[in-house]
Chain A
Amino acid sequence: MSAYSVTEPTGRSKLVAGLLVTLYAVVTLLPLVWIISTGFKSGPDSISYPPKVVFDPSLEGYVNLFTTRTRVAAEEFQNLPPPETWYDEIVRDSGMVIAGPSRFGERFLNSVIIGFGSTFLSIFLGTLAAYAFSRFKVPLKDDLLFFILSTRMMPPIAVAIPIYLMYRELGLSDTHLGMILLYTAVNISLAVWLLKGFIDEIPREYEEAALIDGYTRFQAFRKVVLPQAATGIASTAIFCLIFAWNEYAFAVLLTSGTAQTAPPFIPTIIGVGGQDWPAVAAGATIFLLPVMIFTILLRKHLLRGITFGAVRK
């Protein structure tokens, strides 16, 4: 880049822009910070009136998230052996004993399997289809593309009942595979559309050169196009994962004991008498971490990915 560029913003405009964006970030992150801090509040502090900004941190929410607890009769409570671990102690302080682990661990693991499984499958199928649409004369191309997009317009409820009946017949109801296929079907429209955009931007000259060098189409796709599209694939994967990770409507309707994911579980964590806000907040925080880490790891790709069009002719 030359020393002086007409397109480079001036220092002052940069400063103003930076301040404005920082201001927006502060405002928009406030609710999120509130959620995370609620996870470290004690039960009474979480519903304090008026709200508490400064509080004694407590791990009660996290302990409650991972355990089920029960109340025992007063005399029995007196005779219990002293608490063995720090989390036993926290639970005892609220007059309860730990009855066992909660289902959160299982639900979380289900989310990992289903979320990442369907993301992988969406990207795999989506890249193939996007490449074909981008490079070849597919008959009725525009119609097919619109058809793919249109599947995303269906309200989930519109197909939920037949899917529900169909899954039961096929034994896919409440299974990981069933949910992976379902989320892939929902995500694939986004994947194809985004990826086609990215592949469209890769100059055909690269592949043509490779073909002249004796590559087959397939080799050219694998060795030339895929590496070039990596950034686009990464950012598409983020979007697919965000959807599959957080999906709620189908998860509520189609899963129960075995394959239920975390989103239907978290908002309904009930403590003793009412919603256990610190545990809900703790669940929300832990559940946010994997997508957040995934996004931060792929951050460069996300940002480079969406700037990919910069090489457009």
Chain B
Amino acid sequence: MPDPIAAVARATPDPIARKVRGLSDRAIAWLFVAPTIFLLLAINIFPLIWTVRLSFTNYRANRPNEEVEWVGLRNYVRILTDDGIWANMQTTAHFLFWTLFFQVLIGFTLAWLINRKFKGNDLLTTLIVLPMMLSPAVVGNFWTFLYQPQIGLVNYVVELVTGTPASSFSMLGPGGYAPWSIVIVDTWMWTPFVMLICLAGLRSIPDYIYEAAEIDRASKWRQFWTITIPMVLPFLMLAVLFRGIENFKMFDMVVLLTGGGPGNETLLASIDLKREAFEKWRTGYSSAYAIILFVTVFGLASIYVKALNKVKER
């Protein structure tokens, strides 16, 4: 098989290739990795170090003429002893847990069903992934409209289906629905992402494994738990990792949906951080806040990636 390609390659001398010809594997490796690393250093790491520095000061980006004072750990102490911020963290945890739970549950189920390869499955797959192609800004904005009891779609449909009067409940209002309403929107939008990755996992399982199991007379149920689940698990965990990271820092959609309300019921830590940084302009304080959030995700993700690697090795 490589012969014709090699022939073509020899026939078309490639100037770049000739230049690179002499390079060792090691040099090529560095050449390939360096631009990425450089970009990340410039646009992520350098600003991050700057943020760390700012977090020890009382700097305010909107008061350029004011003296900047070094305040040591004061910002950190203030944040870690603030009950309000712990409440925001709990709100974030609630949002994170339930969005991941529903997205994995529904996403995997869908993938598993689509993997039956019924007629028209690829058309349906394309349709199902549409919500995740919308902008979170549009989604947040439009769902306030959909959730509006008198003129919105959601309550209207609920009334049609269950008979509960549309005006008798408010999805974003008081009454405890709001934290669930934001979970619903995020699940609606991002379940397709989890589904796609699960589908990739399912289709990566070679048929012969099932055939062997069939010969061993393993039941379908047993096959599902001993073959399907373990083989899909690394993919599923990767999907959870990406969604988890995204939802931890997500704020645009929820800001537009609820503004953090009613009261503080949906005030995610990331929304609070945005207010401190770009509305109150407490740059130093919010830098410390950002670092604390970052360290939290970083810590959780490192443990998680270790677990993921273990699962992969199995």
Contacts and interface: CB of A to CB of B under 8 A. Distances in A.
Direct A–B contact in complex, judged by CB atoms less than 8 Å apart: yes
Interface of A: 5-7, 9, 13-15, 17-18, 20-22, 24-25, 28-32, 34-35, 38, 47-51, 125-126, 128-129, 131-133, 135-138, 142, 144, 146-166, 181-182, 184-185, 188, 190, 192-193, 206, 209-210, 213-219, 222-224, 242, 245-249, 253, 262-264, 266-267, 277, 280-281, 283-284, 287-288, 291-292, 295-296, 299, 302-303, 305-310, 312
Nearest to A121: B39
Interface stretch (B25-33, B68-76, B94-102, B174-182): B25-33
Interface string B293-314: 1100110011001000100000
A217 B137 CA distance: 45
B141 A25 contact: no
B118 A287 contact: no
Given A21-B124, A158-B291, A263 B135 contact: yes
A148 to B, nearest CB: 7
A130 to B, nearest CB: 9
Interface string B257-276: 00000000000001001100
B245 A129 contact: no
A132 B166 contact: no
B211 A162 contact: no
A21 to B, nearest CB: 5
B124 to A, nearest CB: 5
Given A161-B277, A219-B9, A309-B204, A18 B61 contact: no
B138 A17 contact: no
A102 to B, nearest CB: 17
B252 A248 contact: yes
Given A51-B151, A267-B138, A7 B273 contact: no
A266 B14 CA distance: 47
B118 A14 contact: yes
A218 B23 CA distance: 9
Contacts of B131: 28, 31-32
B63 interface: no
A296 B125 CA distance: 11
B28 A146 contact: no
B120 A161 contact: no
Contacts of B9: 215, 219, 223
B108 to A, nearest CB: 13
B36 interface: yes
Nearest to B293: A155
A166 B116 contact: no
A17 B118 contact: yes
A129 B36 contact: yes
A218 B302 contact: no
B61 A125 contact: no
Contact of B113 (A21, A147, A185): A21
Contacts of A51: 151-153, 156
10 contacts: A30-B157, A31-B143, A34-B146, A157-B277, A164-B61, A213-B6, A263-B138, A267-B140, A292-B130, A305-B200
Most buried by A among B9, B119, B294: B9
A216 to B, nearest CB: 5
Nearest to B128: A25
Nearest to B35: A125
Interface string B54-92: 100000010000000000000000000000000000000
Most chain B Cβ neighbours within 10 Å, of A22, A28, A47, A156: A28
A292 B133 contact: yes
Given A129-B32, A160-B278, 8 more contacts: A9-B117, A34-B146, A50-B166, A128-B31, A146-B302, A153-B249, A158-B48, A246-B135
A18 B122 CA distance: 11
A196 B194 CA distance: 19
Nearest to A183: B43
A305 B200 CA distance: 8
A150 B46 contact: no
Contacts of B163: none
Nearest to A246: B135
A50 B124 CA distance: 31
Interface string B145-167: 11000111100110000000010
A28 to B, nearest CB: 6
Contact of B39 (A29, A152, A185, A218): A185
A163 B47 contact: yes
Contacts of B142: 31, 35, 267, 280-281, 284
Interface in B222-265: 238, 242, 245, 248-249, 251-252, 256
Interface in B39-54: 39-40, 42-48, 50-51, 54
Contacts of B8: 223
Contacts of A219: 9, 14, 17
Nearest to B198: A306
Contacts of B106: 24
A209 B110 contact: no
Contacts of A217: 20, 23, 25, 28
A276 B132 CA distance: 24
A307 to B, nearest CB: 4
B273 to A, nearest CB: 5
B40 A151 contact: yes
Contacts of B278: 157, 160, 253
Contacts of B48: 154, 158-159, 162
B222 to A, nearest CB: 14
